[in-house]
Amino acid sequence: MTQCNTQAMLFGQVGRRQTVARFDGGWISSDGGALLLGEVERQTRIIERFSGCFTDHRDPKRIEHPLAQLIGQRVLGLALGYEDLNDHDALRRDPLLATVLGCGDPLGAGRERASDRGKALAGKSTLNRVELTPVGASRSSRYKKIAFSISAFDRMLVEVFLAAEAKAIRTARRSARKAERRGGKRRRREWIVLDIDATDDPTHGKQLGRFFHGYYDCYCYQPLYITSGEHVLFARLRPGNVDAARGAITAVSRVVHQIRERHPGTPILLRGDSGFCREPLMRWCEENGVDYVLGLAKNKRLVKAIGRQLHEAKLACEQTGEPARRFTDLDYRTQKSWSRCRRVVAKAEHLPGERGENPRFVVTSIVAEQIIAQTLYEKTYCARGDMENRIKEQQLGLFADRTSCRAMRANQVRLAMSTVGYTLMAALRRLGLAGTPMAGAQCSTIRVRLLKIGARVRITARKIWISLSQSYPLQELFHMIHARLTAPPPALGP
């Protein structure tokens, strides 16, 4: 065959030497750090669990790409920064990506069709059929034979969370036993905190489920998320015209039930903004032993009730020129919507200049004897803001907003793929970067600094040699992460 890509390109002169470039370097990948993601997958089995949410009705005799490989290719592509399916027409030739996915023929030399040889992985058309899974995919379908179960996906996210949290629980139990032997007291186990929030996902055209949302000022979907720390426990695409709390009880009950299946009696705290301050949700929490801290929209009655505290804050602000705060507890009940009186924590704040009064309120089931007003607002409630960073990380770094399919179901599959890609990257951060300067790095930073490494791939009869760039500046960190990910798990105590 004619090698058209070996034409020399001249790039100026350095001293007496001419700079000449050719596309003749052999199999070179720009994603050498994907090897770390492969080790994370071996430890956590996140992609394997996710593949279990799909049912494959294809004829096994006609399959060249197993289902787990297709799912892994798409998820790893997102983690490595390739948001479009079109990118995979080039990525299918990458032997390093094929190696990470466990492909036995990383060069694709043994493909059945001559036109496919040299392409170890699937192209955009095959991956597209995975995303466009219909509701009733079956063997009788001609093209779309892979079905996706949204309920299995919901369970999978919580299972990954519980598997990661189990290590912390075992460590806490061992520490408690040691403290008891030394005469100390067992510490009370803290809440598992669930943060719930909705966000906007601007649409790309006249798609099903898109509506204009006045608050976000755009045509969008309105996905619902539940997170716990850096873990995503629930991600559901919804039409853009629904109330923020639509489906919240179903989502929270599903997550709480699954957690308590594994850890009965576990204290759980639900946090959310004022969009989730709804009587049915609060009543469900009270009936099921789930504590809550929810934002409460201000009104004239509430502002009047903290008039003295607002006046004190105003005087303090005028004296110091700095923002001043006062906190207080209220027993409050709405005139119609609430079924009972509840504890409301009020922040009476006054800001310098024209900003003036800035009162804020939260409603909670936690009694004042357990957490005082100021601590509950500043430490417990305000910490929910970190969830917005997790959503932003997924949308900007893992392309959760790339929902450009016409059907909502296909876009839900794309959201699921993005969520799993984020979960894999978060696992790399948790398992490999803890205690390092990059322990709090965003997914996009991890990708640029750890995954985008030039690598040359050579395949022999017995080994796959991957030569990483000698000029890579974070070699010591890379070695440390590899040692952590490949170390044998510690023996479990009694």
The sign of the dihedral angle between the CA atoms of 301, 306, 308, 314 is negative
For residue 280 the two structure tokens come to: 């049915």
Q: Which residues pair with 220 in a beta bridge?
A: 202, 211
Backbone angles phi, psi at 154, to 5 degrees: -60, -45
Q: Are 482 and 429 in contact (CB under 8 A)?
A: no
- pLDDT average, residue stretch 4-12: 78
Q: Are 293 and 362 in contact (CB under 8 A)?
A: yes
pLDDT at 177 over 80: no
| C-alpha pair distances (Å), 110 with each of 72, 178, 287, 457 | 21, 58, 61, 18
pLDDT at 99 over 90: yes
DSSP-derived letter for residue 115 is G
pLDDT band at 139 (very low <50, low <70, confident <90, very high): low
pLDDT at 367 over 60: yes
Give pLDDT, residue 23: 81
The sign of the dihedral angle between the CA atoms of 240, 241, 244, 245 is negative
CA count, 13 A, side-chain hemisphere, 186: 7
Give pLDDT, residue 59: 86
pLDDT band at 176 (very low <50, low <70, confident <90, very high): very low
The CA dihedral of 108, 109, 112, 115, to the nearest 10 degrees, is 80
Sheet (strand 28-29) strand order:
28-29, 455-459, 464-468
- pLDDT average, residue stretch 18-31: 87
**Dist CA 294 CA 297 (whole Å):** 10
pLDDT band at 1 (very low <50, low <70, confident <90, very high): very low
In our burial notation (b when 16+ CB lie closer than 10 A, e otherwise), range 85-107 reads beebbebbbbbbbbbbbebeebb
- pLDDT average, residue stretch 367-392: 92
pLDDT tens for 405-461 read: 888 999 999 999 999 999 999 999 999 999 999 999 999 999 999 999 999 999 888
**Dist CA 333 CA 355 (whole Å):** 29
258 CB burial (10 A radius; 0-12, 13-18, 19+): middle
Give pLDDT, residue 188: 42
Q: Which amino acid type is present at position 390? A: R
pLDDT band at 173 (very low <50, low <70, confident <90, very high): very low
Give pLDDT, residue 189: 45
Give pLDDT, residue 143: 66
pLDDT at 205 over 70: yes
- DSSP for 374-441 reads HHIIIIIIGGGHHHHHHHHIIIIIS-TT---SSSHHHHHHHHHHHHHHHHHHHHHHHHHSTTSTTTT-
Backbone angles phi, psi at 227, to 5 degrees: -130, 160
pLDDT at 362 over 80: yes
Domains in the chain and their CATH numbers? 28-151+405-486 (no CATH), 190-397 (3.90.350.10)
Q: Which amino acid type is present at position 396? A: L
pLDDT at 346 over 70: yes
The CA dihedral of 423, 429, 430, 432, to the nearest 10 degrees, is 130
